[in-house]
A and B are shown apart, each in its own frame.
Chain A
Amino acid sequence: METEPALIDPQRFPDVRTSDFRAADGTPTYIVPAAKVVEILRYLRDVERFTMLEDVTAIDWYPKEPRFQVVYNLLSIERQKVIRIKVDLPAQNPTIATVTNLWPGANWYEREVFDLFGINFEGHPDLRRIELPEDWDGHPLRRDYPVTGPRRANLPANWIRVEGRSGSPQ
């Protein structure tokens, strides 16, 4: 898989670079500027025949900068190939264009990333929370969000003292 030619032509898209992070599954991984993501994904879908968007998710590299990475996993059934596209986004107001007009199935994935990471998808038809209640505060999959939840985390350290129970203040 490593010796094959690049799936994204570097002359046509000069600002795309290959990822230097170890891909343990051998998937060719590219880092794409946020402004070009729709153009490149459309090229991959129509020219390179990556017809299926398998997955959209994100990684939070807190406290590093650029903080967020949106990850697209594409599959070509006819070519039996896979590719991964990653987009770096800053910590302040992370925003990226939606790909729902390329794959309608991106809708729920992008809603999930919005819900759990707080990344905005511009042009998304229905950007609401999907897993959590509408009035939830914060975005749980961010690394600085406490695992115990915001309410438990903000309580005084010694608040649980029930008779006969060993409270474990978090």
Chain B
Amino acid sequence: MDDLGIKELWLDDLLEDDFDPEAEDGTPSKELMTINMGPQHPSTHGVLRLVVTLSGEEVVKCIPDIGYLHTGVEKTAESKTYNQALTLTDRTDYLNPLINNLGFSLAVEKLLNITDQIPARAQVARVLLCELQRLSSHLVWLGTHAMDLGAQSTFLYGMREREMILDIFEMCSGVRMMTSYIMPGGLYADLPKGFEEAVAKFIKYFKKIWPEYGALLTKSELWYERTKGIAVLTPEQALGYGVTGPCLRACGIKYDVRKMFPYSGYETYDFEVPTATKGDVYDRFTVRMQEVEQTVRLIEQALQKLPSGEWQVSDRKIAPPKKWEIATNMESLIHHFKLFTEGFKPAPGEVYSRVESARGELAYFMVSDGSNKPMRMHIRAPSFTNLQAMPITLEGKAMFADIIAAIGSIDIILGEVDR
């Protein structure tokens, strides 16, 4: 290659005046470089774009640019009846559809003032399904987070177990992910035959396999190197930015909606809220790992509690009548027709209803003007707030590769960030 002069050209470039090489005494260059990361990058868990300014390898500034997955869910919901708008909530946080369904349903039930009428079977089934959903979401988080940091096998194991949970959801609702199974007034249908056996079998298997997950990561020196002391969030910062969920609990603040504002009978279950102290990537990891164990406890309790009986409210203006009722009763036929053409009409009012999703406090702010469509449906998305706090954990104290660890540790879903 020497005869083409390539080597000389390289050297000439380096010796140009505007190039700022390391000084002779070895201090690094002060020149800043701004690079674009995403939106199409596998480690950003969706379509997150970051504009990162670097000094050498240190992060000086990190500006998230969101909106690539904006689908206008809040606007669309204004032109749908309540039961139609339910299907939109599946698609916001797509790893968490059942908890989204529950958040929406609780808000609508409060607007309809039927919160105390939900039958016991529906209440317990909701808790059971939501905890299964939390488990599956944490498995995906663990797999992708570990894969970002170089541990590929965890991803395969996580996806394998998640698929078993999705099979259980498919049993119930007919679909793996976009379930729309929890509806205002109870459930979409009764739990299928063999559901309890399937869950019990899965939990038995999962409890046996779960210690392997931790061992895969925590017995590796590399894992500690990549996570400890990285992207530290202080409690003051977390409160100022409205961070919730495992990210907040990793800073030592014990806020869990299931404990503070219990819904669906969470106050009757025995479970702990795991916390940590340092608020770094490793603490968020340990908090979620302990949360998985608490989730398994909750599923076991719910499985023992699950009563038989009705699974939706008896008011046929809210819950659709059953097939045999329609076949034998004229009034039920009218109810069915009215419900699916017009829907129900909550009295005018507003509601802000919280649930604990796998990522933090998910809330639905809904306003009814007395018509059959929500006048305003606002989703308080935990990923949105948690992502906003990410740059301050990085700027001035992290290396470029730590950004990947930080994104994985806050566990964002861009469908929910952009809505």
> A: which residues have CB within 8 A of B?
21-25, 27, 29, 51-55, 57, 59-60, 71, 73, 77, 80, 82, 84, 103-105, 107-108, 116, 129-133, 140-141, 143, 145, 147
B 38-52 binary contact with A (CB < 8 Å = 1; else 0): 000000000000000
Stretch of B86-94, B185-193, B376-384 with 4 or more beta carbons under 8 angstroms from chain A: B376-384
> Is chain A's interface secondary structure helix, strand, loop, or mixed overall?
loop
State whether B363 touches A24 (Cβ < 8 A).
no
Docked Cα-Cα span, A145 to B253, in Å, equals 42
Docked Cα-Cα span, A59 to B347, in Å, equals 17
Docked Cα-Cα span, A63 to B255, in Å, equals 40
Q: Which residues does chain B contribute within 8 Å of A71, judged by CB atoms? A: 365
Q: Which residues does chain A contribute within 8 Å of B347, judged by CB atoms? A: 22
Q: Which residues does chain B contribute within 8 Å of A108, judged by CB atoms? A: 384-385, 388
Place the interface of chain B in its size category: 35 or more
State whether A105 touches B240 (Cβ < 8 A).
yes
Query: Shortest Cβ distance from B174 into chain A, in angstroms?
Result: 28
- Choose among A53, A60, A108, A143 the residue with the greatest number of B CB atoms under 10 Å from its CB: A108
State whether B75 touches A21 (Cβ < 8 A).
no
Query: Shortest Cβ distance from B353 into chain A, in angstroms?
Result: 6
Partner of A77, one of B113, B255, B376, B385: B255
Docked Cα-Cα span, A65 to B74, in Å, equals 22
Tell me the residues in window 333-355 of chain B with beta carbons closer than 8 Å to chain A beta carbons: 346-353
Q: Which residues does chain B contribute within 8 Å of A103, judged by CB atoms? A: 240-242
Docked Cα-Cα span, A53 to B239, in Å, equals 8
Partner of B380, one of A55, A82, A140, A147: A55
State whether A77 touches B253 (Cβ < 8 A).
yes
Query: Shortest Cβ distance from B396 into chain A, in angstroms?
Result: 16
State whether B75 touches A54 (Cβ < 8 A).
no
State whether A55 touches B376 (Cβ < 8 A).
no
State whether A73 touches B240 (Cβ < 8 A).
no
Q: Which residues does chain A contribute within 8 Å of B110, judged by CB atoms? A: 24-25
Known: A23-B349, A73-B365, A130-B67. A57 touches B378 (CB 8 A): yes
Q: Which residues does chain A contribute within 8 Å of B389, judged by CB atoms? A: 105
Q: Does B367 sit within 8 A of A, measured CB to CB?
A: yes
Query: Shortest Cβ distance from A52 into chain B, in angstroms?
Result: 5
State whether B351 touches A25 (Cβ < 8 A).
yes
State whether A105 touches B363 (Cβ < 8 A).
no
Q: Does B111 sit within 8 A of A, measured CB to CB?
A: yes
Docked Cα-Cα span, A22 to B110, in Å, equals 11
Q: Which residues does chain A contribute within 8 Å of B380, judged by CB atoms? A: 54-55, 57, 73
Docked Cα-Cα span, A82 to B354, in Å, equals 11
Partner of A24, one of B111, B243, B392: B111
Q: Which residues does chain A contribute within 8 Å of B348, judged by CB atoms? A: 21-22
Nearest neighbor of A27 in chain B, beta-carbon distance: B352
B 365-398 binary contact with A (CB < 8 Å = 1; else 0): 1010000000110101000110011001000000
Provide 12 A-B residue pairs closer than 8 Å at the C-beta atoms, listed in order of the A residue: A24-B346, A52-B239, A53-B242, A54-B380, A57-B365, A104-B240, A105-B385, A129-B67, A141-B74, A141-B75, A147-B75, A147-B78
